[in-house]
Structure 1
C-alpha cells in the first residue's frame, strides 16, 4: 500500500464535494477503458496514481488503499474521471453485498496481502 504524500489537500482534489453522482461501493470494480498517457501526465499525483492503478480492473477499496486517499475522496475522484469517460464503473455483478462469491473474493484478496 502506498503511503500518503499529499501534494494538495483532499478538498482540492474533490472541489470540496463529498457526494458522488452514482453509488460506488467498496467492492465496485473500476477500470480504464483506454489509457491516455498525455491525460495522465496532467493529473495531480494522487489522481494519477489512482488512474494508473485502474489500468487493471480494481475495486474502489483497493484504489483507495493504493493511492493513499481516503475512501470518500477516492469515490469523488473516481466519479469525476468516470463522468469524463476516463474510468469505467462496472455494473454490480452481485445480487447482495453479502453474496458468497464476493466474500470469497474478499477472503482471497486478504490472503494475498498476508
Structure 2
C-alpha cells in the first residue's frame, strides 16, 4: 500500500503493509462500523502525539461527517484497515460514529415480501 508524499517511484508514497498499520490485527475491536455509518472527528484541545500518521489523516478527513466507505476512499486505506484504525480512534474518544436507523432496525422478512409483492403489482 502506498502512502502519499514519501517519494515512491510511482508518486504514490512509500510502501507500507496493511498489517504494519494495524499492529497485526485483522479485526476491529467494534463490529458496528458499517460502510454507511457516518464518522465525525471529535475536536481535541491538545494534539495527541501517540497517534500514528494514518490516524491523523483519518481525523483530518472526517472533520465533517462522512461515511466509512467515503473515508476509505479519501484516505486511500483498505476498508478492513480503516475499520481497525477507526475502532482505535473510537475507543479513545477521537471520533463519533452515527449509524442509520436502517442499520439498527431492519424490516422483517414479511414486510420485505409485502413490499416486493406491491411493487410487482404495479
TM over 0.5: yes
Task: Select the structure of larger CA radius of gyration.
Answer: 2
SS at match of 1:26: coil
Higher mean C-alpha displacement, 21-30 vs 42-51: 42-51
Q: Partners in 1 of 2:45 and 2:25 — Cα distance?
A: 26
How much has 1:7 moved relative to structure 2?
6.0
How much has 1:33 moved relative to structure 2?
2.2
Structure 2: gaps (5+ residues)? 5-11, 107-122
Q: Note the alpha carbon deviations across 1:29-84, whole angstroms, 9 max, x for none.
A: 11112245622x65433322111111110111111111011000000000000000
Q: How well do the aligned residues superpose, as a CA RMSD in angstroms?
A: 2.3
Runs of 4+ residues deviating >4 angstroms: none
Residue 17 in structure 1 maps to residue 25 in structure 2: yes
Residue 27 in structure 1 maps to residue 36 in structure 2: yes
Aligned to 1:91: 99
Q: Partners in 2 of 1:22 and 1:42 — Cα distance?
A: 21
Bigger relative contact order, structure 1 or 2 (CA pairs below 8 A, ≥6 apart) = 1
Contact (CA 8 Å) 1:35, 1:55: kept in 2 or not? no
Contact (CA 8 Å) 2:39, 2:62: kept in 1 or not? yes
The structure with more helix, counted as a fraction of residues: 1
Aligned to 2:74: 66
How much has 1:8 moved relative to structure 2?
3.6
Question: How many residues get paired?
Answer: 94
Higher mean C-alpha displacement, 20-29 vs 4-13: 4-13
The structure with more strand, counted as a fraction of residues: 2
Task: Tell me the TM-score normalised to structure 1 length.
Answer: 0.69
